[in-house]
């Protein structure tokens, strides 16, 4: 029952920005957008999250549209080590909540 | 390194057996979550514990059980194992169960996982 839609795969040239889209048209007002990635069967790695404002940290930037129905994760200078499955998750992340993972986007960074 | 540790890294056992997976949360985290990742089902939430008490349950089989101890580490017990139980099992931890204290967010940090192979 994932509430997000992501493209199954994307390619990106090394050194270029990787822009990963996510649609979450049924997001409710108190739900956050979270991004995780999983590199080759390792544990999912937290990247960034946001509610309605754009967010940036040392790993990535998150751009959320004004209507909050979609968002884009931006990796500013992709490297080969960024090749992974990227998951966009919307969640209240409150008491007793769980993360619902969809299929995610396989990002392949190529030299 | 997320700060969440899981042991063992790999486990190979036979059908019908019982195994225990262990998870130590990040220092200061009170909540522990267990997830299963199999090839055909993707990442699925199993169960959450907060400060020793069960908080939420997902699609966890009756043959599976978990607990969180006073030192906050958690164990996932899998019994009467079947071939289909072969999967990666991840533990995650977070500061608390969410709510006003975390501003409505409670980021989960995942461990490296235990790969279970049932032969």
Token pair for A58:
């040392």
Please compute the mean of the pLDDT values over residues B16-34 and round it to a whole number: 96
A45 touches chain B (CB under 8 A): yes
| Interface contact flag, A44 B110, Cβ < 8 Å | yes
Confidence band for A97, pLDDT divided at 50, 70 and 90: confident
pLDDT in tens, A38-78: 999 899 999 999 999 899 999 999 999 999 999 999 999 99
- Residue entry with tokens 């544990």: A43
Residues of chain B with pLDDT > 70, as a percent, come to 92
Ramachandran sector of residue B112 (left: φ over 0; alpha: ψ -120 to 50; beta: rest): alpha
Cα(A108)–Cα(B39) distance, integer angstroms: 20
Cα(B40)–Cα(A87) distance, integer angstroms: 17
Please compute the mean of the pLDDT values over residues B92-117 and round it to a whole number: 79
Min distance B53 CA to chain A CA atoms (Å):
11
Residues of chain B in contact with residue A95, where contact means CB-CB under 8 angstroms, are 55, 97-99
Please compute the mean of the pLDDT values over residues B41-47 and round it to a whole number: 91
Cα(A66)–Cα(A92) distance, integer angstroms: 19
pLDDT in tens, A18-40: 999 999 999 988 889 999 999 99
């Amino acid at each position: 029952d994932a509430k997000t839609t992501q493209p199954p795969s994307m390619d990106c040239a090394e050194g270029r920005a990787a822009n990963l889209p996510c649609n979450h048209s049924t997001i409710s007002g108190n739900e956050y957008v979270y991004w995780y990635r999983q590199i080759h069967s390792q544990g999912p790695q937290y990247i960034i999250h946001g509610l309605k404002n754009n967010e940036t940290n040392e790993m990535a930037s998150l751009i959320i549209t004004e209507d909050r129905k979609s968002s884009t994760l931006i990796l500013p200078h992709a490297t080969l080590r960024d090749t992974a499955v990227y998951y966009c998750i919307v969640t209240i992340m409150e008491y007793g909540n769980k993360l619902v993972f969809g299929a995610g986007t396989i990002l392949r960074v190529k030299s | 390194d997320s700060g969440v540790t899981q042991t063992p890294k790999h486990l190979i056992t036979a059908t019908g057996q019982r195994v225990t997976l262990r998870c130590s949360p990040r220092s200061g985290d009170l909540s522990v979550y267990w997830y299963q990742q199999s090839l055909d089902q993707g990442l699925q939430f199993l169960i959450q514990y907060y400060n020793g008490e069960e908080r939420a349950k997902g699609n966890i089989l009756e043959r599976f059980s978990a607990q969180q101890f006073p030192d906050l580490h958690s164990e996932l017990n899998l019994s009467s194992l079947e071939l289909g139980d072969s999967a990666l099992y991840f533990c995650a931890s977070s500061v608390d169960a969410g709510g006003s204290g975390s501003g409505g967010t409670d980021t989960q940090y995942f461990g490296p996982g235990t790969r279970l192979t049932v032969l």
